[in-house]
Amino acid sequence: MDLGLKDKIVVVTGGGSGIGAAISMTLAEEGAIPVIYARRAPDDGFLAALTAKSPRAGWIKADLSLDEDCRRAVAQTHERWGQVYGLVNNAGANDGVGLDAGPEAFRASLNQNLIHYYTLVHLLMADLKALKGAIVNISSKTAVTGQGGTSAYVAAKAAQLGLTREWAAALAGDGVRVNAVIPAEVMTPLYRRWLDSMDDPEAQLAEITARIPLGQRMTLDTEMAATTVFALSERSAHTTGQWLFVDGGYTHLDRALSTLAPTT
């Protein structure tokens, strides 16, 4: 299936690792030109593989919590690549800022996980309107379930879902589509480090996967990427304002289920 993304510039924040890297690579495989915004250089092997599929792909160093870095990254993108068709707001991490952390830590966490979502849409809005482009916000199941001990991250992720609907409404008249993709349990390097901090990582992993109804397994980063890239594409031309859960049924199906009933 041709997704109609050939030679289109798509900014992917945090696009050099984890889910973001899978999105960047899938875009490259579809002929798009991913431009990664990240604080650190992506792995050399990853960059080599990415540019082998999309020779014009690249990355820009940026601390997205700083407005000036966001402005500089967008200016450099325009100078090197031209107008931007798509934006994947992905960068961020669950930093465990809970009720005991205090308001200063809460605000700082929102700056790391939320504010740049708005800032980049603001800065790229003229491009998106001109090209009738698309935005995908990567959120989290914690936005709708809560987690405990993660007030700031949950606030950011829930706000991203609200902004998805708000921006879809605000930009519909300009032909710009805005959707959110929501993971639950995806085995990224960050997730692996969290597991490895447990006394018995494999037992913890088994407990988690047992609660995922479809296949009792973690979601693959490539599955997250496939939905994200489809949502960016012309094949998803009449889909906007949607929250797309890619989680094996974890969020909305009974987590106590050990198997799904067979279909007939």
Catalytic residues: 153
Please give the full DSSP string across 98-138, using - where no structure is assigned. -TTS-HHHHHHHHIIIIIHHHHHHHHHHHHHHHHT-EEEEE
Nearest to 144 by CA among 127, 130, 157, 126: 157
Residue 148 backbone zone (phi > 0: left; psi -120 to 50: alpha; other: beta): left
Cα–Cα separations (whole angstroms), residue 224 to 139, 179, 198, 221: 11, 13, 25, 5
